[in-house]
Amino acid sequence: MLILPLPAQPDWRRPPWVTLLLIVACCLIYFGGQYHDDARRARAFAHYQEAGLAEIELPRYLADLERRGEDKLLAELRADHDGNSPLALMALQGDPDFLQRLGADQVISPAMPEYTGWRAGRAEFDRLYRQVFTDRFALRPAAPTPLTTFMHMFMHGSVDHLLGNMAILFIVGYTVEAALGGGVFLLFYLIAGLGAAIPDLIAGAPRYSVSLGASGAIAGVMAMFVVLYGMRKIRFFYWIVVYFSTLKAPALIVLPVWLLTELWMRLSSPESHVNYMAHFAGLLTGAMLAAAYRFRRKGRSAARIESADVATQDADQVREAERWAADLQFDKAAAMYAKLTVRRPDDVALASAFYRAAKLQADPVLRQQAGLRVLELAPTAPALRAMASEAWQAALAQCSTLPKLSVSQWLKLAAGWLDDGDADSADRLLRMLVQRMPDQPALPALLFRAAKLFRQKGDIGRADACRRLLVQHYPDAAEARL
């Protein structure tokens, strides 16, 4: 069974640099280091057999295991071709204590007749085996090192494994990165990778086993995603055997499904090479990290997640208002737009739709509210100036409340109306400004433009009225002398 969240639209104005960096790092490590490892390992193992090293080292290694009382590993290796197999060699190579004694000539001493041939063959094998990138840098749970613990979080077992993981990392990674920030996201990715290794480290995995932990770290990212979304509903893709579809469900509900799936796969396929317990531990670690993040923010999710929720809710309400308007139920449409404009006061398209719906319904309060909204936005939104002119005339006629704009906004609105050829609205606004704020330096030029526009329209009486107002209040202005 496969369940994955469907991707949201990335915001490429703020690229997910850490997610992209992780993808690039994983690809470089695989194609630059791991890609030819099967051939390298085959050459090293072939040399091991051809040089007679298997007949010399492996029986001594099995005897050493018996001496140390490691009966379980000994029985497992002897069951596999009586201990003469690549599995036994991998266990030997993963046993730092035996390797140290082997290299110090404590297992095969110079006094033994086979020593010279063995030493030369072992030196060549060591040279060939060091070329196997995966075996050098993958985590050996029986003998972990800081380097392999870090490197294994970026390693994969095959091209298919890599491509599948990178697709999942991109789908959920850019959302989690946008929510947490790049630095916190990278830290959480690394901690999730470490958490994914804990079951192997605690359980004492066989010496021949190696762990490639990118899947565990990415499982942690998936858990972060659903915990950050919490009970918000998101769309998931699911695939069960031959059936696949999508569903919309609270994000957090999917986490126990993922955890139980990994446990069930581990119990039902104990011989599988897939490390299901690493997936389980990665999911659990990622969930705990995201839960701690939310706890420190007093239960709130990340700003990116919350803003996405608001955007989704707003989009649904806009579609609902559009349906009301299409059904000619303008009162319901206007009421919905009124709620939306409170949350999105700077949205020009929303203000325009609100005004159109409000004009066609009976509630004067909604009409006044819509008019105020377009008047507030019109100074910086030319698309609303015609609506603002209509709302302005209605407000004056009904002695309604005017918006609380700054002087510069009122002047900009008057100038915009003059640009549009709306001399009447501009003239009434300029007269109000001359009466209330006569000391504004821009007023003489605007009065001159209004007079000129009235004259062009053939309204000589109003043109002269503007000229008289200009000369009376601003006799020293250059426009008055003209």
Contact of 225 with 175, CB cutoff 8 Å: yes
* pLDDT recorded at residue 64: 92
Q: What is the pLDDT of residues 145-177, one digit of tens each?
A: 899 999 999 999 899 999 999 999 998 898 889
Q: CA 430, 435, 438, 444: dihedral to nearest 10 degrees?
A: 30
Identify the CA nearest to 405 among candidates 442, 374, 449: 374
pLDDT digits (tens, 9 = 90+) for 64-81: 999 999 888 888 888 876
Structural domains for the chain: 1-301 (1.20.1540.10), 319-402 (1.25.40), 406-482 (1.25.40.10)
- Which string of DSSP letters, residue by residue, matches 327-355? TT-HHHHHHHHHHHHHH-TT-HHHHHHHH
CA atoms of 398 and 419, how far apart (whole Å): 26
For the record, the structure tokens of 215 come out as: 């899947």
Can you read off the two tokens belonging to residue 432? 């109000």
The amino acid that residue 101 corresponds to is: R
- pLDDT at residue number 387: 87
Beta sheet of 2-5, edge-to-edge order: 2-5, 233-240, 243-250
Cβ 414 vs Cβ 429: under 8 Å: yes
pTM strictly above 0.75:
no
Query: Which of the pair, 199 or 243, is modelled with greater confidence?
Result: 199
Using CA atoms, how far residue 202 sits from 37, 70, 87, 142, 198, in Å, is 28, 17, 22, 10, 6
d(CA 397, CA 428): 12
At residue 190, the pLDDT reads 96
Cα 210 to chain centroid, rounded: 31
